Each structure stands twice: as C-alpha cells, then as structure tokens.
C-alpha cells in the first residue's frame, strides 16, 4: 500500500543564505512531521507546487520572501493560492517593507508576515508556525476522514448533514450516491439513493438520515447534560455564549453551554474577522471560535451540541430550560446568547430550494463545489462582501447583488477595496432577486433592476443570501420582555419612565444585562440595542458572568 508522504512546508527566497537558514530552522522543529520544500525563485516554487498537486500531495504552509525578481512574494502567494487554497500563507519581509505586507493581508489573505531576521526562532518563528499548522490541521486538511457521508448533490437533508459536520469541524468524506463507492455503501446498508444521507462511521456503522443529535452522538459531541442543576446555563455558543462559558467556568461556576447547531454562531461563518482585538493579520471565525470552545472545555464547562432550547420558566429559585424532546435542565442563572440568524429572501420559488442551491449565510463548505461556476450573492454588508471574496477563489464569476447604488454605505472600506481588486467579482447595484426556479435544485434566478423595473433571468445553481438578521426569540414569549423586533430588553431599557418591569419583585432595578426575569441575562446580538460585533459579544458574555456573581451573592 502507498504511504502518503508528510505534508509540505514550502519556502521560497532568492537569497540562498536566507533560503537555507529558513529551511534549516523549519526542518529542525517540524522535520519529523512535515517535508520542507525549498525553492530559489517564485517560478521554481510554482513548478514544485504544480508537481505536488499532480501527485495528490498536501501543502500546509507557504513562506515567501517579499523582494524577489520577476515575481514578488505577494504575486507568488496569489498564484499559489490557486493550487493550494487551504495552505497557510506567510510573507517574509524586511522592516522597510511592512507596509507592503500589511496590504498583502487583504490582497492574498495573508496569514502572517514575518520580519527578518526571525531569531531566535523559538520566539519569533515557531509560535507563528505552530499556530498556522494547528489551524491548517483543524481545517480538516490532514485528517484522514473516516466518516463518510453518502448523499445527493442537491438533496437538502444531505446538505444539512454535511453542513452540521463541517461547522462542528468534524472531518468527513463526501461520497456521491451515484458514484461507484456511494452505490456500494448504499447497497451494503440495504438502502437506496432515495434514503440519503447515509452516514457510515469509522467502525462501519450505518446511519440512515440521521438527525443532528444522532450525528452529534456518533462523532463524540455530548448531547445530554451530566447534571440536573447548574449555577449557570448559557444558551447559544456564538462569541457571547462562548465568552460567558469561558468566564463562568474559569471562575468556578458549574456551567453548561447549549448549542442547537454548531459552536461559533455567526462568527463561525466568517471567513476572516479583521477587526477583533489582538489579531493584526485577521483570523478566520472558525479558528477563533474553535479556540474559544476548547478554552471553555479546558476550564470545565460542559458543552451540549445539537440541542435547541424551546422554553424558559421561572420555578421559584430555579430557572428551567426545556428542550424540544421535553427534557429539561435547571440552574440558578441563565445567559441568553442566542444571537440572530439570517432573514429569508421572500422571492417566490426560493423557499423550496433552500439547501438545494439557495443558501443562507456563507456556507463556506460549499465553496469548492462552485468551482468554475457562476455564483450569486445577495447583500451589501460585510458578511456578503467577505463571502464574495471567499467564493471568488473557486467560482468562475461572483455576482454581488445589492439594492443600493454602491457598497459605500453598507460595507467597510477595506472590503470594498479588496472587492475592487478582484476581477472575478462583479457588483450589480440597484438589483434584487424576485424569483428562483429549478427542478430538483436551483437552476435560475430572476433579477429586477430597481431603477427601471426591468427583469431578467440568470442561469445559476448557487445563490447565497445575506440580507440582515432577526433574533428568533418567539420561544421566550411571556418569559422575558422583548422589543418590537424580538430583541431581549435588559437593564436600563426595562426601567424607562422609572417603572420596573411588570412582575419584577426584587427591591432593586435589573442589573445592566439582566432581563425582566431576575437571574436571566442577555448578551451579544440577541440583546436589544447591542453592538453587532464579535468583540462586543465576547465582552458582554464576560460581563454577564460578573453580574451572575452579583446576583448569586445577593441570594
Ligand atoms: C458572515 C459574517 C461575518 C461577520 N464578520 C464579522 C467581523 O468581521 N467582525 C465582527 O466584529 N463581527 C462580524 N460579524 C458579526 C458577528 O459574527 C456577530 O456580531 C457575533 O457572532 C454575535 O455573537 P452572538 O454570540 O451574540 O450570536 P451568534 O454568533 O448569532 O450565536 C448565537 C448562537 O446561538 C445558537 N442558538 C440560537 N437559538 C438557540 C436555541 N434556542 N437553543 C440553542 N442554541 C441556540 C445559534 O445556533 C448560534 O450558534 C459577522 C457575521 C457574519 C454572519
């Protein structure tokens, strides 16, 4: 049997002394697990990459010197991205070139720039590479996928299973039902292509159309609480919930974090968060939130996956949260961190095609499937812009449909600049989607020019929608006060006019993030008037925990 060679770390520098030194330092620490490939020009490095690609090998990190003749480091990394888009990218620069390196963060989605000289490597080189290799591995690039999902390209339940696994960073292999291997697995499980998705575990167990909870249990994610009673239940594992869980557990509270879909929330879908404090080169949302998840677990927080909370009751001293299967969990205090989710596009025909060509959110896992095709993205805010940049690496053309005249009012200028530099992205101003159609999957959309009222059809199998979000808090109806749009009211917003909320029995006003039910706090996007940012969500999660302590001390 062929043994797969170690993944490569490629370095390219036209100065032979520097080139040798980088390769030597890298080999010293990573030589047992990675193959170091050294090139002395961008052209030879690209040639080596093409060869590795042809041989089906993997490249984990690309390190390129900025100043090289013919093709500089940024141009090289840009070309290399076409061959190995998942490889992490590092630019080697002299101090004088840091401006170019900072610009490259946007142009080639640079992961890091490393100043020469990098000595001692233990301080300046290895921590950077450790982090990048960890991120590359977490992306599932190296894992031998043992879990196989057999499905149909355009089956919404197949998509849901894949999306669930991808968002929870569980490596799996996607097998089409109409390929030989897929047909064989279906036959072995005694089912047909109508029964997809079929999930085949490493030990050969077959799960036919598993629910997210079944899948979670199979891949080792906990779904039932270990105890009946906690100090703190956190609902929602986006940045706010993760923040609350990290601070709650690290400060000695018995803490359980409940998530219906996948840790990370909206932030987990962000291909690159550029404005989170402490990450000058940006960080992918999945990376950031996966680190937070591990941090919460390390401090002893319990994490329940694929569990949706459907009601909240005040039962004397306890707050009781019920799951959709009727079971429940109780605690002294609760942090509601359920965020928001995308609004649906009301155009006729699209509801039936959700998950079969029409997707809400970026669904980064779908990007490679769009290779060489036309992708339509709806929305003018940063989330749509990030998705356009991300999909432009795979798609033939990305059409960004916006209702406004231009992007300036709704998108950050760094993203507008980035989009302007990418030829494959075309912005369509004053354009809305008014219909979608297709047999078993999306085949075309109807677009309307809002200035002239003219409509036209465009053939596409890919529509990604980012048109604002709503909190989906109906399940809190009658339990806590919400504003007109469903956002949870807290603290001073509850005592407008000097009156405390109806039914409030305590001889004090609600604390700053406290809802109209004492001991129940709201943090992050779900809170009325909150700033919709990762940093503020994390901050509110942490702050909610300090208010939990204050609440518990007064009991
Ligand atoms: C594509 C994209 C890119 C973005 N980029 C940036 C950026 O670059 N910088 C920035 O600052 N912000 C960015 N944002 C915004 C940022 O991600 C959000 O402000 C932040 O994630 C809010 O965190 P949260 O924890 O309040 O809510 P969410 O992230 O919305 O998390 C809420 C979680 O609660 C879960 N949940 C909901 N209801 C229930 C229930 N009943 N039971 C159990 N679980 C439940 C959800 O499944 C979800 O995982 C971006 C958002 C998107 C969508």
Residues in CB range of 499: below 8 A, 6 or more apart: none
User: What's the mean pLDDT in 491-514?
Assistant: 93
Pocket test for ligand 1, best of 267, 341, 360 (most atoms within 8 A of CB): 267
Nearest CA to ligand 1 atom 45: 236
What is the Å distance from ligand 1's center to 105 Cα?
A: 24
User: What's the mean pLDDT in 405-429?
Assistant: 95
* Per-residue confidence band for 2, with pLDDT thresholds at 50, 70 and 90: very low
Nearest CA to ligand 1 atom 37: 338
What is the Å distance from ligand 1's center to 340 Cα?
A: 6
Instruction: Ligand 1, residue 541: give the atom nearest the CA.
Output: 25
What is the Å distance from ligand 1's center to 279 Cα?
A: 19
What is the Å distance from ligand 1's center to 238 Cα?
A: 5
Higher pLDDT, 298 or 146: 298
Higher pLDDT, 475 or 383: 475
pLDDT of residue 114: 86
Instruction: Ligand 1, residue 535: give the atom nearest the CA.
Output: 11
Ligand 1, residues at Cβ distance < 6 Å: 235-241, 258-261, 265-267, 269-270, 273-275, 308-309, 337-340, 362, 382-383, 386, 524-526, 532-535, 537
Nearest CA to ligand 1 atom 48: 265
pLDDT of residue 249: 98
Nearest to 515 by CA among 491, 499, 485, 547: 491
User: What's the mean pLDDT in 61-86?
Assistant: 89
Q: Which of 71-80, 94-103, 286-295, 381-390 has the lowest mean pLDDT?
A: 94-103
What is the spatial distance between Cα 429 and Cα 20, in angstroms, rounded to a whole number?
A: 51
pLDDT of residue 260: 95
pLDDT digits (tens, 9 = 90+) for 117-175: 888 888 889 989 998 998 888 766 544 457 889 999 888 899 889 888 888 878 788 88
Nearest CA to ligand 1 atom 53: 266
Nearest to 77 by CA among 64, 93, 60: 64
Instruction: Ligand 1, residue 243: give the atom nearest the CA.
Output: 25
Nearest CA to ligand 1 atom 30: 339
Instruction: Ligand 1, residue 269: give the atom nearest the CA.
Output: 1
What is the Å distance from ligand 1's center to 524 Cα?
A: 8
C-alpha Rg value of the chain to the nearest Å? 25
Nearest CA to ligand 1 atom 11: 533
pLDDT of residue 435: 97
Instruction: Ligand 1, residue 241: give the atom nearest the CA.
Output: 25
* DSSP per position, 79-124: HHHHH-TTSEEEEEE-GGGHHHHHHHHHHS---EEEESP--SHHHH
Instruction: Ligand 1, residue 266: give the atom nearest the CA.
Output: 29
Nearest CA to ligand 1 atom 22: 525
User: What's the mean pLDDT in 478-484?
Assistant: 96
What is the spatial distance between Cα 179 and Cα 164, in angstroms, rounded to a whole number?
A: 23
What is the spatial distance between Cα 160 and Cα 154, in angstroms, rounded to a whole number?
A: 11
Nearest CA to ligand 1 atom 6: 273
Residue found by looking up tokens 């142009």 in the block: 107
What is the spatial distance between Cα 267 and Cα 94, in angstroms, rounded to a whole number?
A: 33
What is the spatial distance between Cα 422 and Cα 35, in angstroms, rounded to a whole number?
A: 33
pLDDT of residue 204: 82
What is the Å distance from ligand 1's center to 268 Cα?
A: 7
SS3 assignment, position 376 = strand
What is the Å distance from ligand 1's center to 528 Cα?
A: 15
User: What's the mean pLDDT in 217-234?
Assistant: 93
Instruction: Ligand 1, residue 310: give the atom nearest the CA.
Output: 41
Instruction: Ligand 1, residue 524: give the atom nearest the CA.
Output: 26
What is the Å distance from ligand 1's center to 267 Cα?
A: 5
On the question of pLDDT at 409 being above 50, the answer is yes
What is the spatial distance between Cα 396 and Cα 369, in angstroms, rounded to a whole number?
A: 12
Higher pLDDT, 1 or 343: 343
What residues pair up with 341 in beta bridges, in sequence order? 470
What is the Å distance from ligand 1's center to 151 Cα?
A: 28
Whether pTM exceeds 0.85: no
On the question of pLDDT at 313 being above 80, the answer is yes
Contact 491, 512 (CB under 8 A): yes
SS3 assignment, position 457 = strand
Q: Which residues of 282-305 are buried (b: 16+ CB within 10 A; e: fewer)?
A: bbbbbbbbbbbbeebeebebbbbb
What is the Å distance from ligand 1's center to 539 Cα?
A: 14
What is the Å distance from ligand 1's center to 237 Cα?
A: 8
pLDDT of residue 113: 85
Length of the chain in residues, anyone?
Answer: 555
Tokens representing 295 are 């941090």
**Cis, peptide link before residue 336, omega less than 30° from 0:** no
User: What's the mean pLDDT in 16-43?
Assistant: 93
Higher pLDDT, 259 or 154: 259
What is the Å distance from ligand 1's center to 38 Cα?
A: 41
Pocket test for ligand 1, best of 266, 282, 377, 476 (most atoms within 8 A of CB): 266
Nearest CA to ligand 1 atom 15: 533
Ramachandran sector of residue 363 (left: φ over 0; alpha: ψ -120 to 50; beta: rest): left
pLDDT of residue 191: 94
Pocket test for ligand 1, best of 163, 239, 265 (most atoms within 8 A of CB): 265
Higher pLDDT, 367 or 68: 68
């Amino acid at each position: 049997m062929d043994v797969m060679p170690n993944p490569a770390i490629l370095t390219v520098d036209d100065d032979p002394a520097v080139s040798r030194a980088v390769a030597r330092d890298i080999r010293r620490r990573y030589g047992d697990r990675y193959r170091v490939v050294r090139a002395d020009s961008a052209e030879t490095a690209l040639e080596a990459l093409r060869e590795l690609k042809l041989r089906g090998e993997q490249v984990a990190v690309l390190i390129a010197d900025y100043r090289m003749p013919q093709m500089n480091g940024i141009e090289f990394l840009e070309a290399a991205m076409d061959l190995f888009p998942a490889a992490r990218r590092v630019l080697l620069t002299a101090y004088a070139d840091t401006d170019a390196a900072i610009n490259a963060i946007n142009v080639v989605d640079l992961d890091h720039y490393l100043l020469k000289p990098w000595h001692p490597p233990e301080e300046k080189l290895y921590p950077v590479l450790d982090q990048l290799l960890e991120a590359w591995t977490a992306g599932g690039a190296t894992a031998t996928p043992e879990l196989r999902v057999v499905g149909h390209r355009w089956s919404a339940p197949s998509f849901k299973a894949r999306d669930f696994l991808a968002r929870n960073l569980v490596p799996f292999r996607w097998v089409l039902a109409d390929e030989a291997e897929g047909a064989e697995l279906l036959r072995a499980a005694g089912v047909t292509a109508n029964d997809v998705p079929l999930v085949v575990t490493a030990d050969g167990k077959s799960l036919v159309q598993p629910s997210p909870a079944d899948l979670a249990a199979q891949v080792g994610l906990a779904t039932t609480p270990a105890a009946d009673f906690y100090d703190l239940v956190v609902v929602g594992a986006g940045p706010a919930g993760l923040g609350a869980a990290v601070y709650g557990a690290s400060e000695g509270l018995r803490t359980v974090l409940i998530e219906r879909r996948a840790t990370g929330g909206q932030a987990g879908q962000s291909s690159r968060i550029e404005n989170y404090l402490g990450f000058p080169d940006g960080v992918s949302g999945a990376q950031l939130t996966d680190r937070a998840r591990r941090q919460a677990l390390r401090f002893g927080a319990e994490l329940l996956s694929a569990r949706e909370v459907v009601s909240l009751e005040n039962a004397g001293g306890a707050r009781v949260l019920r799951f959709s299967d009727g079971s429940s969990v109780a605690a002294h205090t609760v942090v509601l961190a359920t965020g928001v989710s995308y609004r649906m596009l009301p155009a006729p025909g699209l509801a039936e095609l959700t998950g079969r060509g029409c997707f809400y959110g970026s669904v980064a896992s779908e990007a490679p499937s769009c290779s060489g095709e036309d992708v339509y993205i709806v929305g003018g805010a940063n989330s749509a812009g990030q998705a356009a940049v991300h999909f432009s690496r795979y798609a033939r053309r990305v059409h960004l449909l916006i209702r406004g005249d231009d992007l300036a009012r709704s998108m950050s200028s760094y993203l507008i600049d980035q989009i302007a530099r990418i030829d494959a992205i075309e912005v369509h101003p004053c354009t809305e989607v008014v219909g979608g159609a297709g047999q078993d999957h999306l085949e075309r959309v109807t677009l309307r020019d809002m200035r002239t009222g003219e409509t036209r059809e465009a053939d596409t199998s890919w529509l990604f929608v980012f048109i604002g979000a709503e909190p989906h808090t109906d399940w809190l109806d009658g339990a806590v006060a919400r504003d007109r749009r469903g956002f949870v009211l807290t603290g001073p917003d509850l005592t407008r006019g000097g009156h405390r909320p109806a039914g409030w029995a305590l001889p004090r006003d609600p604390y700053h993030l406290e809802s109209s039910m004492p001991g129940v706090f709201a943090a992050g996007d779900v809170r009325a008037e909150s700033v919709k940012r990762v940093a503020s969500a994390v901050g509110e999660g942490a702050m909610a925990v300090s208010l939990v302590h204050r609440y518990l001390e007064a009991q």
